[in-house]
């Protein structure tokens, strides 16, 4: 703590050489540093703020008496000290000061350049300044002005690094304290009623893009962080800013395709919907299907799923079939069994927005429904690490979406015999050509192979979910009775068999004898006696 004070004071030109009209002796310096340390009571943030105030005094050529008086007037309570610093800022700067601090607190980049705050001051004069800012215009001469304004408007809480000219807080703990409830509430009471910090940052980043300042990074920051958080009443402004960014990129080396890819993978689905309403072919120049572009990687975030839903509403859905397959089926085929856990949640999300559970997924030797492939995961040696609840919840989604147990599997060539220890779609016996037959076969294998015992628990719950969801399918219930009995021990099979509705015995009509009389009736007996 004492080292921090010494380092900052020594770096000031008036600490070593005095203030011109007065000299601060070595003993006086040591005494002042000691007093700062003692009044701090171990609170480093207090030391940082007070040291900054002492440096201001040195800049003003204060005498040692003035510096001690300055120190004496500073509150020892940290909250009171912040209010004291903010209270000393000129009232004419109150709104801008609060907005400067709030912008710095919500900046998610590696640091805003000093002239970013100059841009924001323009917002007080012209809220449309970012859209109107000329592309390519650079204002190097505003940096000195912006540096002075930052010092004046924030009481030294924000500072500018000398090398990169990036704005940061005096110390990281300053930001932490400003975000405490009482202080942040005080800041928010002083901003303009219409102030939206994320819109302000989006405007700043738009101007930075127009100046080609770290263009690719700035585009991603605007599209993925700031614009999605802008308040709904400012939606029209976000559309204007997006258009300004697109116009900027068109004139840059990146090209418009890069901008559209960034937009496609952003959370801005509502804005994308508006653009697709104006032009259904908006993403034509990105070089690939926007749906395929989104369906890359192992897991899908909620933003990507929502964007896929929007694309579907505009005619480019995940079930759209091209070259005998669909993007959804291709995505399903791309995953491998060891990574099942990373995919099951994505499958469930896609089913929720309309993915077809019976879509055909093509393998080298067969084509079968997505559902029939998913159904056998619990029985595969390579998927034993899958979390049961994750698998079962997605199974429910398949069943709720109308998964078909009877859809036939087509074979391109005659495959070899089924191999229950390998990845199932690779080797299928042509006898097992529906999801129902595959499930029945898997259950029989489970009952005969002791090595598959670890799969029994998840298989039990899989069948239990199917019985609960498809109790009305009498044919399926009938087909599963025998495999269930073979696969599970008595205590497990009893539970499952108890879920299958009992078939009502059919009432066979009694056989009528010739003449219309039923056997055994008095009339028929009399006829027999007369005949004798």
Instruction: Give the pLDDT mean for 309-338.
Output: 86
Asked, for residue 72, whether it belongs to a domain, the answer is yes
What mean pLDDT do residues 377-395 have? 77
At CA 375, angle to CA 357 and CA 358, rounded to 5?
Answer: 20
- Show Cβ contacts of residue 61 under 8 Å, excluding neighbours closer than 6 positions: 14, 19, 20, 21
**Residue 41 domain flag:** yes
Q: Is the pLDDT of residue 389 over 50?
A: yes
Looking at the domain assignment, is residue 456 inside a domain? Answer: yes
Question: Which own/partner pairs from 64-72 qualify as long-range (CB within 8 Å, at least 24 positions apart)?
Answer: 64/22, 64/24, 64/28, 64/32, 67/24, 67/32, 68/32, 68/35, 71/32, 71/35, 71/36, 71/39
Please tell me the pTM assigned to this model: 0.79
Q: Which residue, 76, 94, 122, sits at the end of a domain?
A: 76
**pLDDT of 9 over the 70 cut:** yes
The total domain count for the chain is 2
Among the ranges given (231-240, 269-278, 321-330), the one the predictor scored with the smallest mean pLDDT? 321-330
| Mean per-residue pLDDT, 488-514 | 76
Out of 56, 76, 96, pick the residue that ends a domain. 76
pLDDT digits 0-9 by tens, 434-445: 999 989 988 888
Residue 36's domain comprises 2-76
Give a yes or no: residue 475 inside a domain: yes
More confident residue, 517 or 171: 171
Q: Nearest 5°: phi and psi at 67?
A: -65, -40
Q: Tokens standing for 101?
A: 């601090």
Q: Which of 450, 456, 461 is nearest to 495 (CA)?
A: 461
pLDDT the model gives residue 338: 63
Query: Is 509 a domain residue?
Result: no
- Quick one: pLDDT at residue 173? 81
Tell me which of 261 and 81 has the higher pLDDT: 261
Instruction: State the pLDDT confidence band at 366, using cuts at 50, 70 and 90.
Output: confident
Selected residue with higher pLDDT from 334 and 420: 334
Identify whether 46 is part of a domain.
yes
Mean pLDDT within 93-118: 93
The pair of structure tokens assigned to 64 is: 């040692």
CB neighbour list of residue 307: distance below 8 Å, 6 or more residues apart: 264, 265, 269, 272, 294
Report the DSSP pairing between strands 410-411 and 167-169.
Answer: unpaired
* Residue 96 near residue 121, CB atoms below 8 Å: yes
Q: Is residue 326 part of a domain?
A: no
Distance CA 363, CA 88 (A): 73
For residue range 208-264, list pLDDT tens digits in order. Answer: 999 888 888 999 999 999 999 999 999 999 999 999 999 999 888 788 999 999 999
- Residue 324 predicted with pLDDT over 80: no
Q: What is the mean pLDDT of the chain?
A: 84
pLDDT value at residue 419: 45
Closest CA to 130 of 120, 140, 115: 120
Flag whether 519 is in a domain: no
Residue 415 has pLDDT above 50, yes or no: no
- DSSP SS3 for 239: helix
């Amino acid at each position: 703590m004492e080292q921090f004070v010494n380092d900052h004071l020594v770096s000031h030109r008036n600490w070593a050489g005095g203030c011109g009209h007065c000299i601060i002796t070595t003993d006086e310096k040591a005494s002042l540093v000691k007093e700062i340390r003692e009044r701090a009571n171990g609170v480093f943030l207090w030391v940082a703020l007070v040291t900054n105030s002492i440096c201001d005094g040195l800049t003003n050529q204060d005498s040692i008496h003035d510096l001690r008086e300055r120190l004496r007037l500073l509150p020892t309570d940290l909250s009171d000290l912040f209010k004291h610093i903010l209270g000393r800022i000129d009232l004419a700067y109150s709104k801008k000061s609060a907005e400067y601090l709030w912008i710095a607190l919500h900046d998610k980049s590696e640091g805003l350049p000093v002239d970013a705050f100059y841009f924001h001051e323009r917002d007080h004069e012209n809220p449309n300044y970012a859209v109107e800012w000329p592309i390519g215009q650079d204002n190097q001469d505003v940096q000195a002005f912006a540096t002075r304004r930052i010092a004046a408007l924030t009481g030294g809480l924000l500072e500018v690094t000398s090398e990169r000219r990036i704005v940061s807080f005096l110390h990281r703990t300053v930001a932490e304290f400003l975000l405490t409830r009482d202080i942040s509430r005080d800041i928010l009471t002083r901003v303009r009623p219409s102030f939206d910090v994320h819109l302000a940052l989006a405007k700043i980043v738009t101007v930075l893009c127009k100046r080609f300042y770290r263009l690719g990074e700035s585009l991603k920051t605007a599209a993925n962080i700031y614009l999605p958080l802008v308040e709904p009443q400012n939606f029209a402004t976000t559309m204007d800013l997006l258009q300004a960014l697109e116009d900027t990129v068109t004139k840059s080396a990146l090209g418009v395709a890069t901008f559209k890819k960034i937009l496609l993978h952003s959370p801005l689905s509502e804005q994308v919907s508006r653009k697709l309403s104006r032009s259904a072919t908006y993403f034509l120049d990105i070089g690939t299907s926007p749906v395929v572009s989104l369906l890359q990687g192992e897991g899908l975030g909620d933003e990507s799923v929502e964007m896929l839903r929007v694309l579907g509403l505009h005619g480019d859905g995940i079930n759209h079939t091209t070259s005998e397959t669909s993007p959804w089926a291709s995505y399903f085929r791309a995953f491998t069994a060891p990574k099942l856990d990373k995919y099951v949640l994505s499958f469930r999300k896609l089913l929720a927005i309309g993915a077809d559970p019976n879509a055909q997924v093509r393998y080298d030797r067969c084509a079968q429904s997505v559902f029939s492939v998913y159904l056998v995961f619990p029985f595969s040696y390579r998927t034993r690490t899958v979390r049961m609840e994750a698998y079962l919840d997605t199974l429910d989604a398949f069943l709720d979406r109308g998964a078909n147990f009877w859809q036939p599997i087509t074979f391109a060539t005659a495959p070899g015999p089924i191999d229950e220890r390998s990845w199932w779609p690779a080797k299928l016996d042509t006898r097992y050509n529906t999801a129902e037959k595959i499930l029945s076969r898997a259950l029989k294998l489970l009952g005969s192979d002791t090595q598959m015992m670890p799969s029994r628990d998840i298989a039990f719950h899989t069948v239990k979910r199917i019985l609960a969801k498809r109790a009305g399918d009498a044919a399926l219930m009938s087909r599963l009775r025998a495999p269930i009995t073979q696969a599970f021990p008595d205590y497990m099979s009893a539970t499952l068999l108890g879920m299958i509705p009992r078939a009502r015995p059919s009432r066979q009509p009694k056989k009528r004898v010739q003449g219309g009389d039923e056997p055994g009736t008095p009339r028929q007996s009399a006829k027999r006696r007369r005949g004798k």
